[in-house]
Structure 1
């Protein structure tokens, strides 16, 4: 962006402006000089230069020092706001405040069950980057919504964007240890007559999972049906039934002993349900490279990768 010289209004010296503000605030040339670390004579010359530039008197002398004229009072009030804006803009330029914010949008269950539990690790490793996380199934736009990265759930159908899919994710059957002890299961066929909890938004539902394992399944009524996976997890923890969910999202529950897989890995069904989505140009940004590198490390530690 360039500024046309035709649009530039007459601007006095910034040194003269600072001297004027200091004298106005202290009411004394000597005090202003001390605060500015210059001589009183230098301050007097700067005030004289500003008055000459404006063609107006800004101060009158009194027995106690100097007092603002009416013009001086109005001028001080008028320049205070713009100087504050200049100060804020300068601070932004020095600290690159916009760059330090990484704005992430995530599907609710991934954001709550996997990402949020690890965010403090990122903060500890990268204290200069402030994360802003929002979770929803809204169709957001990167420019309009000031978004850096979107972690989406679904089919990878975004040809104009950079898409990194989380790999090695599987759908597994889970239940609480107490519920499983009361309802022992050794084969998928046994699940058909048991209490099943349905997650409406998963890519692989019970019908697909049963078909994958060659089990006849016809429109079974579920004991509960939820539109958020984290609700299904909590219901299973409350001994309400069996769930079919992502092992990526289930990690914390399994490690805490709240849930356990009903079958071994031979009954798990692979799925590619979670994707990191962002504009191609964004990958070159340092904050993005650092976040993606950190996320890859965390995924690998959990048995997944990009």
Structure 2
């Protein structure tokens, strides 16, 4: 039976994810020399190189790609087996990691809905701006923001997300807006997060590109949305992220839906073997139902 040392496999997975021996060493609490030694031993045992060096760092060889796909699932299986052996039998724990704005603005207000529908599942949620690793089997699902394209993982894109100018009703009462070009003379809120920025939006609606200064600038969607809800300006943000504030009347779309832009910004990411976990299936079905409810206005 040819089974490499587990520490060598863990070092390989960390290098593959971070694309750096130094970052893997930092993550694992080892020296770079020790991590390189583990990788060399693993490649010697396999008989093929797992990485090749490029100007941008380390990239996986075809053998490395296949091996990563296989061992990631195996490491997660080992972790889940250990958790099952050590956990209470009557509690099924679903661990979800999320980008902060999605977790705060969309997921948190709906947790009671998930609990009511899935009383047999304990939901643990963590938020950060880093994509998590699934190799240790701790997280079941990662909700990521971006353009997608994660290898060796299942990706289920959240549909029906639109970017649109949003403002509070009282702001629009004081500062009426008749057409997109009017926005050039309004207090605009800039957010780094949306996949569609103000310059792109103006181009899509046919407003000639002009330099525009912003009254506020944020690197977090929830800050832009809150600032708009306070009546301090107009934000270009996700109507899905702001759905609760829109429902509660704190925000409205400045224009009709023809001036909004559909995006594929949020994605449910998980290892393929996690589909077999009942708790994961329940969460995926619940999110899909919540999105459909939001789209229908219920």
Whether contact under 8 Å (1:192, 1:217) holds in the other structure is no
Looking at structure 2, the residues matched to 93 and 146 of structure 1 have their Cα atoms a distance apart, in angstroms, of: 13
Whether contact under 8 Å (2:95, 2:140) holds in the other structure is yes
* Unmatched 5+ stretches in structure 1: 1-88
Looking at structure 1, the residues matched to 249 and 290 of structure 2 have their Cα atoms a distance apart, in angstroms, of: 21
Shift of 1:96: 6.0
Pick closer, same or farther for the CA change 1:281–1:91 going to 2, 3 Å. closer
**Residues 47-86 of structure 1, C-alpha deviations (whole Å, 9 max, x = no match):** xxxxxxxxxxxxxxxxxxxxxxxxxxxxxxxxxxxxxxxx
TM score, norm. by length of structure 2:
0.68
SS at match of 1:197: strand
List structure 1 runs of 4+ shifted beyond 4 angstroms: 89-94
**Residues 233-281 of structure 1, C-alpha deviations (whole Å, 9 max, x = no match):** 1111121110011111111111111111110011111111010000011
- How many residue pairs get matched? 214
Q: 1:191 is matched with which residue: 164, 168, 183?
A: 183
**Residues 133-155 of structure 1, C-alpha deviations (whole Å, 9 max, x = no match):** 01111121012471110011110
Shift of 1:92: 4.5
Alignment of 1:224-239 (within 5 A): 224-239=216-231
TM score, norm. by length of structure 1:
0.67
Alignment of 1:54-133 (within 5 A): 92=86, 95=89, 97=91, 100-133=92-125
Pick closer, same or farther for the CA change 1:157–1:179 going to 2, 3 Å. same
Alignment of 1:237-276 (within 5 A): 237-276=229-268
* Unmatched 5+ stretches in structure 2: 1-82
Shift of 1:293: 1.2
Looking at structure 2, the residues matched to 263 and 106 of structure 1 have their Cα atoms a distance apart, in angstroms, of: 30
Whether contact under 8 Å (1:107, 1:137) holds in the other structure is yes
Shift of 1:159: 2.8
Looking at structure 1, the residues matched to 265 and 113 of structure 2 have their Cα atoms a distance apart, in angstroms, of: 24
Matched residue, 1:134: 126
Pick closer, same or farther for the CA change 1:247–1:93 going to 2, 3 Å. closer
Shift of 1:217: 2.5
Looking at structure 1, the residues matched to 84 and 186 of structure 2 have their Cα atoms a distance apart, in angstroms, of: 65
Looking at structure 1, the residues matched to 84 and 195 of structure 2 have their Cα atoms a distance apart, in angstroms, of: 49
SS at match of 2:223: helix
Whether contact under 8 Å (1:172, 1:244) holds in the other structure is yes
Alignment of 1:17-28 (within 5 A): none
Pick closer, same or farther for the CA change 1:93–1:254 going to 2, 3 Å. closer
Choose 1 or 2 for highest CA Rg: 1
